[in-house]
Amino acid sequence: MKRTFDAIVVGAGPAGSSAALTMVKAGLSVALLERGNFPGEKNMFGGVLHRLTALEEYFPNFWEQAPWERHIVKKNLSFITPGSSFTVSFDNEAADTPPYNGYTIFRPKFDNWLAQEAVKAGATLLTRSTVDDVIRENGKIVGVTLLRDGAELRAPVVIAADGVLSFTAKKAGLRQAKFSTAQQGVCIKALIDMPKEVIDDRFGLVREQGASSEIVGNSSGIRGGTFIYTNYDSLSLGMVLELGSLEKTDQTPYGLLNNLMDQPQIAKLLRGGKLLEYSAHLVPKGGYSMIPELVGDGIMVAGDAAAFCIITGLNLEGINLASQSGVLAGKAAIEAHQQQDFSKQGLAHYRKSLEESFVLKDMKMYRRTPQMLHNDRIFSQYPELVCGVMDEIYRIDGKPKETMTKLLLRKVKETVGLKNLLADVYGGWRAL
Partner 1 sequence: MKINLDEIFDYTSFNVDRDPHIKLDEQICKSCDQRSCVNCCPAACYSWDEENLKITFVHDGCLECGTCYVICGKDAFTRWRYPRGGFGVSYRMT
Nearer Cβ to partner 1 (39/217): 39
Beta strands in 194-249 (DSSP E): 209-216, 224-230, 234-242
Q: Residues 6 or more apart from 32 whose CB is under 8 A from it?
A: 9, 12, 16, 17, 20, 115, 118, 119, 123, 124, 125, 126
CB 57 within 8 Å of CB 155: no
CB 344 within 8 Å of CB 32: no
32 near partner 1, rule: CB under 8 A: no
404 near partner 1, rule: CB under 8 A: no
Nearer Cβ to partner 1 (275/418): 275
CA–CA gap between residue 363 and residue 154 (Å, rounded): 33
- 204 in helix, strand or coil? coil
| β-strands 209-216, 152-154 pairing | unpaired
265 near partner 1, rule: CB under 8 A: no
109 near partner 1, rule: CB under 8 A: yes
74 near partner 1, rule: CB under 8 A: no
**Residue in 39, 273, 330, 388 binding partner 1, rule: CB under 8 A:** 273
Segment near partner 1 (CB under 8 A); pick from 19-27, 89-97, 128-136, 416-424: 128-136
198 near partner 1, rule: CB under 8 A: no
**b/e map 398-424, b = 16+ CB within 10 Å:** eeeeeeeeeebeebbeebbeeebbeeb
CA–CA gap between residue 385 and residue 151 (Å, rounded): 59
Segment near partner 1 (CB under 8 A); pick from 207-215, 268-276, 326-334, 375-383: 268-276
202 near partner 1, rule: CB under 8 A: no
- Site size for partner 1, by CB under 8 A? 59
Nearer Cβ to partner 1 (278/426): 278
* Least gap, CB of 102 to partner 1 (angstroms): 18
**Residue in 192, 240, 328, 359 binding partner 1, rule: CB under 8 A:** 192
221 near partner 1, rule: CB under 8 A: no
For residue 367, count CB atoms less than 10 angstroms from its CB and return exposed for 0-12, middle for 13-18, buried for 19 or more: middle
371 near partner 1, rule: CB under 8 A: no
CB 153 within 8 Å of CB 327: no
Question: Residue 65 — φ and ψ, nearest 5°?
Answer: -105, -40
* Least gap, CB of 200 to partner 1 (angstroms): 20
Supply the angle between the helices 319-339 and 358-365 in degrees, to the nearest 10: 130
User: Do you find a cis peptide bond into 99, omega within 30 degrees of 0?
Assistant: yes
* Least gap, CB of 252 to partner 1 (angstroms): 5
**Residue in 114, 115, 146, 153 binding partner 1, rule: CB under 8 A:** 146
**Residue in 90, 207, 275, 430 binding partner 1, rule: CB under 8 A:** 275
Cα-to-chain-centroid distance, residue 213: 15
CB 168 within 8 Å of CB 146: no
Segment near partner 1 (CB under 8 A); pick from 18-26, 92-100, 252-260, 423-431: 252-260
* Least gap, CB of 246 to partner 1 (angstroms): 5
* Residues at the interface with partner 1 (CB under 8 A): 35-37, 40-44, 106-109, 127-130, 132, 146-148, 164-165, 167, 178-179, 181, 183-184, 186, 188-192, 234, 236, 243, 246-247, 249-254, 257-258, 261, 270, 273-282
